[in-house]
Structure 1
Amino acid sequence: MTPSTNSATAPVLLYDGVCGVCNSAVRTILRYDQHGTLRFAALDSDFARETIARHPELAGADTAVFVRDAGRPGETVYLRSTALLQVAAYLGGWWRLALTAYAIPPAARDWLYERFAAVRYRIGGRHDTCPIPTADVRSRFLDSAYG
């Protein structure tokens, strides 16, 4: 789906741009995004570095980060499993079933997230560079390299 609006207030998902699992997840999100507004940035992008600078708790983060109100006074970041649950809430529809995972204590959810993250390259492979998105969705990626 092409973006209905490329609003500066739309949420942003920061992800590991060289991770095969992460890139597959981004392609899945793009396919099911009914709003067509969620934006993306690799963790090594300028956008991500600026976000990390505003949130010292993200220093050295190698995890999914969901950013609401990016660059605005009320900017909020969600990490690890909570970031993924924020994506599910954003997607809506049957994805909202994943929100039942909020019943699991965050420490347990994040422990499971970290166990999977530790083996993600063995599962999905690793790219030498962040793959370039297709032209029809490129505007949703916040990286100057994509023009």
Structure 2
Amino acid sequence: MQLNTIKPASGAKHAKRRVGRGIGSGLGKTAGRGHKGQKSRAGGYHKVGFEGGQMPLQRRLPKRGFKSALLKYNGEVTLGELQALEMVEVSLAALKAAGLVARNVKNVKVIKSGELSKKVALVGIGATAGAKAAIEAAGGSLA
């Protein structure tokens, strides 16, 4: 192989379509836009969802649902993650330092997933009913 024999893969390069360049090109006169109408005009087209003046679908359907902006500040930790954590007293700052929750999290809740056999004291952290029972069964506490 030499530099002068290298060429792009077949079909990788193709000539740009040049419209409005005479009858011989096959795309002269109306340049592939057809005759008259909104789509033939310069700058003339409809917005996304436009249905020719009919009430658009996104406006005909009812509004539904709600997603709280506060959800991004909530985090969760499993019992299995607490078991792997080498701490007796667990707080929000400790979980952030360990990388178990994101930096912008303000509220953390422990969920019952995995096993917990060591004693853990939670400070300023909530827990589900099942997780609370599992923590207390292992000799831990919630403050």
Q: Normalised by the shorter chain, which TM-score bucket? A: under 0.3
Q: Which has the higher helix share?
A: 1
**TM-score normalized by structure 1?**
0.20
